[in-house]
Structure formats: C-alpha cells, structure tokens
C-alpha cells in the first residue's frame, strides 16, 4: 500500500533494538483519515471472504480494527491483556510474549463473543515475532470458529513472525512489509 509506505518513510523513526516508532500516525497519535484508507485496503484484499467478526488486541489494534470494521459491516472484539473483574469466568485465554514490552501476558476473550459459526478476520498494527497473532489465532481455534486470515498494517519481514504464521496455514495480508531497516539507510520495503 503505497500511501502507507510513503508515510512510514516520512514519519517512521528507527530506534535501537529493531524498534520502528510510528507513534505520530499509527499507535499513539492516530491519523484517522489514513485508518480509513487502511480499512478500505483490508476490505479489498479480503473481498472474496465472508467475515462475521473482526478480532484484535488492545490497545493499538483497536482503532484500526474499528475503522476497518465499517467497511466489513461487522462487530469488533478485542482481546484484553489482563483479567479484570468485569470479565466473567467464561473466557478463552492464551499467553503472549510481547516484543515491545519484554514480558509475558495473558490474553482473554469472553466465550460469548467468539462462536463456532463465526468467520473471523484478525486485524493488528504490527507483526514481528508473531506471538500476538498466534495467540489470537489460538483463541479463534479454541472457539471452534473459522479463521479467515489476518490483516496487518506493518510486518517486520526480517523477523520470523510472518513466516511462522503463514506456515501454520493462516492467510496473512500485510500492507507494508519491511525487508530491512537501520538508522543510516532507513527503511527498505519488500516488493
């Protein structure tokens, strides 16, 4: 998606430890007009699929998923990262190791919001080591629902996540795949 790649080139900041900061438009401040274009692109790429629900994970996936869901005309469910007293006991759970935060956390979705008849599209902002996406895919599987695929805004192609998830049989559509990046030469995208 050229608009997105141009924006990453223009406003993305490369930091030590393979961190790409896109917090001026994607995951702290959010450019809603760009989110609309991202939503349309996901709809175009999954136009051949029936989708009944979009699944994402808090926090930075939520905005993208909600704007994209308008084009699919389906509800969004977001997996929560910590059990709260507002979630009753009947939940699907998984464990995810966060690349950004360097710790393991639980993800939780209430059983009533993922049903066997659901056809689920996962949407998230980043795909790096693949742990979040594999964790979400496990929740879909636990529910007996169908996983249509995953729509990812930015995939770090130099990390193993994309290969791992595709090898597990999940269709992944990433709008920008980063082949390499460093502070001198900037970001290089995969064709």
Binding residues for a copy of itself, rule: CB under 8 A, are 15, 19, 21, 23-25, 28-33, 35-36, 58-59, 62-63, 65-67, 69-70, 73-78, 80, 84-87, 100-102, 109-110, 112-113
- Provide the minimum distance between the beta carbon of 191 and a copy of itself in the complex, in angstroms, as a whole number: 28
Residue whose CB is less far from a copy of itself, 15 or 169: 15
Residue whose CB is less far from a copy of itself, 50 or 167: 50
Question: Residue 191: is it exposed, middle or buried by C-beta count within 10 angstroms (0-12/13-18/19+)?
Answer: exposed
Distance CA 152, CA 140 (A): 17
Q: Which two tokens stand for residue 4?
A: 């997105």
Residue whose CB is less far from a copy of itself, 99 or 169: 99
Cβ contacts of 178-182, under 8 Å, gap ≥ 24: 178/8, 178/20, 178/154, 181/14, 181/18, 181/20, 182/14
Residue whose CB is less far from a copy of itself, 67 or 121: 67
- The helix (H) or strand (E) run that includes residue 56 is strand 53-57
- Provide the minimum distance between the beta carbon of 84 and a copy of itself in the complex, in angstroms, as a whole number: 6
- Provide the minimum distance between the beta carbon of 139 and a copy of itself in the complex, in angstroms, as a whole number: 13
- Provide the minimum distance between the beta carbon of 70 and a copy of itself in the complex, in angstroms, as a whole number: 6
Distance CA 55, CA 88 (A): 19
């Amino acid at each position: 998606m050229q608009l997105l790649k141009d924006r990453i080139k223009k406003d993305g900041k490369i930091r030590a430890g393979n961190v790409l900061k896109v917090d001026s438009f994607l995951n702290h401040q959010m450019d809603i007009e760009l989110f609309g274009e991202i939503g349309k692109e996901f709809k175009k790429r999954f136009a051949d699929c029936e989708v009944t629900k979009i699944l994402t994970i808090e926090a930075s996936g939520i905005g993208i998923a909600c704007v994209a869901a308008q084009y699919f005309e389906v509800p969004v469910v977001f997996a929560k990262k910590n059990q709260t007293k507002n979630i009753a006991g009947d939940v699907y759970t998984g464990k995810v190791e966060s690349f950004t935060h360097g710790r393991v956390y639980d993800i939780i979705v209430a059983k009533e919001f993922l049903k066997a008849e659901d056809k689920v599209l996962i949407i998230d902002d980043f795909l790096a080591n693949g742990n979040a996406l594999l964790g979400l895919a496990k929740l879909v599987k636990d529910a007996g629902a169908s996983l249509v695929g995953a729509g990812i805004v930015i995939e770090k192609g130099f990390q193993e996540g994309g290969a791992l998830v595709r090898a597990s049989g999940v269709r992944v559509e990433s709008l920008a795949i980063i082949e390499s990046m460093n502070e001198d030469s900037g970001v290089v995208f995969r064709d």
